C-alpha cells in the first residue's frame, strides 16, 4: 500500500472520529452535563477551602502545632451538629483506625 493511500485512510479515520464526537455531543443533554461540571467544580472549590481552613498552624519559635482558631471553632460546630442528631453511634473496637484523644479529650481518628 502506498504512503499516500495510508495517509488518506488515516485522515479519513480522523475525520470520522471527529464527526462521531460531534454527533455524540449533539445527542447528549448538555444542560445536565454543564450542571454536573458546575457541581463538581463547586465541590472541588469547597473541599479546597475546607482543607485550607483546617490546616494546622506551626509556631516557628517553638515548633508547637495547634489548630487554627477558626478551624477549631468549625470542628466544634460540626461536632455539636453531629451530637444533636442523637444517634447511637457504634464503633468497632477492631477498626484499623483507632480512636485517639487530643488535649481537650475530643475523640479523633488517627
Hey, where are the domains in the chain? 1-53, 56-110
- pLDDT tens column, 19-55: 777 777 677 677 777 888 888 888 888 888 877 766 6
Determine the Cα–Cα distance for residues 79 and 26; give it in Å rounded to an integer: 47
Tell which wins on pLDDT, 78 or 68. 78
pTM of the model: 0.30
Looking up cell 495510508, which residue turns up?
6
Cell numbers given for 70: 477558626
Q: Which of 108, 52, 31, 28 minimizes the C-alpha distance to 76?
A: 108
Determine the Cα–Cα distance for residues 39 and 93; give it in Å rounded to an integer: 37
Most confident range (mean pLDDT) of 32-46, 53-67, 75-89 is 32-46
Question: Taking all residues of the chain, what is their mean pLDDT, rounded to a whole number?
Answer: 70
Left, alpha or beta for 63 (phi > 0: left; psi -120 to 50: alpha)?
A: left
Amino acid at each position: 500500500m502506498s504512503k499516500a493511500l495510508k495517509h488518506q485512510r488515516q485522515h479519513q479515520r480522523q475525520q470520522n472520529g471527529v464527526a462521531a464526537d460531534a454527533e455524540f455531543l449533539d445527542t447528549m443533554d448538555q444542560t445536565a452535563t454543564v450542571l454536573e461540571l458546575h457541581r463538581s467544580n463547586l465541590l472541588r472549590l469547597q473541599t479546597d477551602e475546607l482543607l485550607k481552613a483546617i490546616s494546622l498552624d506551626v509556631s516557628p519559635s517553638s515548633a508547637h502545632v495547634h489548630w487554627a482558631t477558626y478551624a477549631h471553632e468549625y470542628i466544634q460546630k460540626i461536632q455539636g451538629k453531629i451530637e444533636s442528631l442523637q444517634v447511637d453511634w457504634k464503633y468497632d473496637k477492631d477498626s484499623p483506625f483507632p480512636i485517639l484523644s487530643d488535649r481537650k479529650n475530643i475523640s479523633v481518628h488517627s
